[in-house]
Structure 1
Amino acid sequence: MPMNAADIERMIKQAIPDARVTIRDLAGDGDHYAAEVVSESFRGKTRVQQHQMVYQALEGNMGGALHALALQTNAPD
C-alpha cells in the first residue's frame, strides 16, 4: 500500500522536530514523491548524512511502501 504525503511529512517531523518539510507527489500514484527538508540539525553534516537522517526517519519504508523519493536537504540560510 502506498504512503501518502501527510504520513511522510509526519514521520520526518517526528524524527527531526525543527524540520520544514515540503512534499510533492510527482506522479499522482502515491509512490513517487519529492521532498524538501530544511533543518538546523543538518548544519555541518554532509549531504549523505542529511539524507541518511531523513531515510532513518522513514523507518524502513523506502523501497517498500515508498517506492521513490527525490530528496533535497539543506540547513536554513
Structure 2
Amino acid sequence: MALMMTDECINCDVCEPECPNGAISQGDSTYVINPDLCTECVGHYETSQCVEVCPVDCIIKDPKHNETEEELRAKYERISNAG
C-alpha cells in the first residue's frame, strides 16, 4: 500500500526531505503523499522513513492503494529507471 497523511499532520516539515522518491509535498492544509511515487521506502530502506520521523504518527497505509511488497518493488524499479 502507498501511505497517506491524516488530518493530524502538523506541517512540521520533517517527512518531506526523508522521502527517497519525492512522494511527499505540501498540500493545501497538510503535507500529502503521491501514491504513484510512494513505495513505503521499498527498494531504499527496511522501514518507511516518513513514518519513522513523524512526531504525531499521522502517516498511515492508504486503503485506496492496496499494494503488495512485490508491487511496491516493481513501482520502485519503474521510478528508478525513469529517473
Is TM-score (shorter-chain normalized) higher than 0.5?
no
Report the TM range for the smaller structure's normalisation. Answer: 0.3 to 0.5
Identify which of structures 1 and 2 has the higher relative contact order when contacts are C-alpha pairs closer than 8 Å and 6+ apart: 2
Structure number having the greater strand percentage: 1
Tell me the TM-score normalised to structure 1 length.
Answer: 0.36
